Every structure is written in structure tokens, then in C-alpha cells.
Amino acid sequence: MAPQDALHGWDDAITAQAYAAFTRAYPMYNATSRDLARRARLTTSGLVIDLCGGTGATATAILDLVPPAARVISVDNAPAMQRIGRRLVPDPRLTWIAAAAEDLDDHVPAATADAVVCNSAIWKTDTPEVFTAVRRVLRPGGRFVFNIGGGFAGVHHRDEQTARTGPSLNSLIRQIAARDYGYTPPPADHTPKLSPSTVSRQLAQARMSVLATDIVAQHTTMAEKKAWLSIPVFARPDGDLSHAQRMDILTKAYALTTPQTPTVTSWLVVVAQRPEEQP
């Protein structure tokens, strides 16, 4: 099943505005979107799906690579995100569909998409259902390219260790939350939610082939991390705290860091394909 918070908070105007501002002000989404779009090999595509497309950062990268006559469909189940996206990406080649990723094949004709791209969201879905839906809409030979945060995949790029110069912002947040608000963190669960082996197994069950997996590092700064954690749906820590309290904790934690301190986030990037020989 999908996580209980798969949609919670996303269909909200404040969250959507903050999220859109972040994707345009900081390089993370642009960089990951360009990387996924490049791996999808879009130069001869006629139809590409931007799955869980949010406010259009990934759709923009896709539009930069597809032929002039190609169509792009952005699918997301948060209308608030799409309302902003329509204003930010007013390209006539781009169509917006408000729907859950699991219902993709209810909105796109079977075997018509040359590629499906999903940036920074697949772990928030019911992946077996989504993989099956993606397979149905892909043409034979079509590519499915997506990424998974390293924490969810249980993978770590070597740069994570070499770049670290002090405590992470998340660890400082937990310390201050405990000190100032009596926060008790839940028991640590280090079991990967979507390990590479789990992803491969689920894709095989959906009758898709894994062409490549890659662990990549996204280099950012402490200032970018703070901006990310200021978005309501990403604010930490979890638990019975108000957003104002979380922002107070974040401000205090950030004050113990240096804005330009480098941080590294690991990602598992997966390139899958609907095989040519399957009906």
C-alpha cells in the first residue's frame, strides 16, 4: 500500500507556492530533472508522461529535449500544485491531468507513451500498482526512468561521507526538538522501503526490464537544505508539533551551521523498459 501521507499536505496553496519557489530558486530539481530526462532518450519521442509532475520542473526539462511536435502530459494528484504549474509552464505542448499515479492508465491510452519520467516521488506511491500502470501506457521499447531518495532505497554515494564536515541539519533538528519541546524520536527503522532488489522484483512482476541502476550524488548547501525543510510537507521532526514550532526548531538548528557548508544527498536512479518482444 502507499504511505498514509502520500497526498497529505500537497493539495494546499501554501505548500504548492513554497514548493514551486524552491524548485525555481535552487538547483536540485533542475539538476535531477535534466538527468532523468537525458536518461529517457527523448529526442525522437512523440508522447512523454511526467508522472507526479508537481508544478512542472521536470516537465520543463522534458520539453527542452523532445521534438517540437511532441506532447508531454503532467500527471499529479494535487490540483493546487498543477494550478501553479499551469502559470509557470504555459507551453501548449504540455497537458495537465489531475490523477493519482496508480490511475495513470485510466487517462493515457495503452501503448502510446514513448517514455514515463518520475522525479522524487515514486516512493510516495503504491509502486507495484504504478509499475503495472506505467507498463500498460508505454509502447514496446518505451522507457520508464525514475529516482528514489537514498534513505528510502538504502543506498549511499561515497561523497556523502567525504563531504560531511559536521552534524547534519536533521540531527541538529532532532537535538533541539528534544531540548526545547520534549521531542522523543520514534525507534529508528533502517530497513529500506524500496531497495534496488525490491524495485527490480516489482518491475519484473510488472513485466518490465531493468536496463540500468545508478547511485548518484546531489551536491547542495546547508542553505538549500534549510529552504527545503521550510516547505510545510517536509518540515521536521514528525510528530505532534505545529508548523510554527517546527520552524522555530529549524531556525535554531540552522543557526548552528554555516550556510555554504556542502551537503550531499544520494539518489538511486533506475532506467527500466517495456520489452519490445512482450505483447
Residue 197 lies in a domain: yes
Burial label for 186, CB within 10 Å (0-12, 13-18, 19+), is exposed
- CATH number at 97 reads 3.40.50.150
Grid coordinates of 265: 544527498
Q: With beta carbons less than 8 A apart as the criterion, state whether 218 and 32 touch.
A: yes
Residue 129 lies in a domain: yes
Task: Report helix, strand or coil for 207.
Answer: coil
pLDDT of residue 8: 56
pLDDT of residue 239: 86
Task: Report helix, strand or coil for 177.
Answer: helix
pLDDT of residue 188: 79
Residue 50 lies in a domain: yes
Q: With beta carbons less than 8 A apart as the criterion, state whether 224 and 259 touch.
A: no
Task: Report helix, strand or coil for 1.
Answer: coil
Q: Which residue has the cell 501503448?
A: 111
Overall domain count for the chain: 1
Non-local (6+) Cβ contacts of 51 within 8 A are 75, 101, 104, 116, 117, 118, 121, 122, 130, 134, 146
Q: With beta carbons less than 8 A apart as the criterion, state whether 141 and 271 touch.
A: no
What is the residue-level pLDDT of the chain in tens, covering all 279 positions? Answer: 334 344 458 999 999 999 999 999 999 999 999 999 999 999 999 999 999 999 999 999 999 999 999 999 999 999 999 999 999 999 999 999 999 999 999 999 999 999 999 999 999 999 999 999 999 999 999 999 999 999 999 999 998 877 667 899 999 999 999 999 999 988 878 899 999 999 999 999 999 999 999 999 999 999 999 999 999 999 999 888 999 999 999 999 999 999 999 999 999 999 999 999 744
Residue 247 lies in a domain: no
Residue 106 lies in a domain: yes
Give the closest residue to 124 by CA, choosing from 105, 154, 102.
102
Residue 75 lies in a domain: yes
Alpha helices in the chain (DSSP H): 13-25, 27-39, 57-65, 79-88, 127-137, 150-153, 159-163, 169-181, 196-205, 222-229, 243-254
Residue 252 lies in a domain: no
Residue 19's domain comprises 13-153+190-218+266-273
Residue 4 lies in a domain: no
pLDDT of residue 124: 93
Model-wide pTM > 0.85? yes
